[in-house]
Chains A and B, each alone.
Chain A
């Protein structure tokens, strides 16, 4: 079993829709949870960084962490074509060093 599971997609939604991206994990030691956006042929860009459970909002992006269910989500409101990219969830344990990535979800926003 992989430590982090993420549906690879592809996920295609119309512009303006709310997008929900999710990951599950198995290691209860994970304390830090991240979402990265990666455009084609580019390095990943950090979108959201949260510690432990709860919600965090930044503009159109909201990250949720439910440690009891070992489940994290990223919501994108008012989605734009420029949001089309691969979104990777990632996690770290309390030592906050090595990052374990999900496989990434390819998202396409249709104009």
Chain B
């Protein structure tokens, strides 16, 4: 089946630093990738949708200058949390979609900002 990886799986950083999270589709080309955030005991909330080669579409309330998304190739999308603060601590999950309708999820990245 389709496999999506994320790196790193866990990151701890100091407040004010920037953190980059990678999302890769390992055995398929993903025309569209999605980034979600999940706070403890809450559901996944879509942050943005990215299509290869074009700017990401951000959901209402998500700061595009804070959460930079780059979808440089059909197998890689990156999310950079700029000037991270403790309230950005969360579980970040990406998903990738092939030409069909199914989204395949990555294992997630746990970000802790001290």
Contacts and interface: CB of A to CB of B under 8 A. Distances in A.
* Contact-residue bracket for chain B: 20 to 34
A6 B42 CA distance: 11
Contacts of B93: 43-44
Given A41-B110, A44-B93, A101 B102 contact: no
A6 B112 CA distance: 28
B43 A42 contact: no
A104 B43 CA distance: 6
A44 B102 contact: no
* A interface: dominant SS: loop
18 contacts: A32-B101, A43-B93, A43-B105, A43-B106, A43-B107, A44-B44, A44-B93, A45-B105, A46-B103, A46-B104, A46-B105, A49-B102, A98-B49, A99-B34, A99-B95, A99-B103, A102-B43, A103-B43
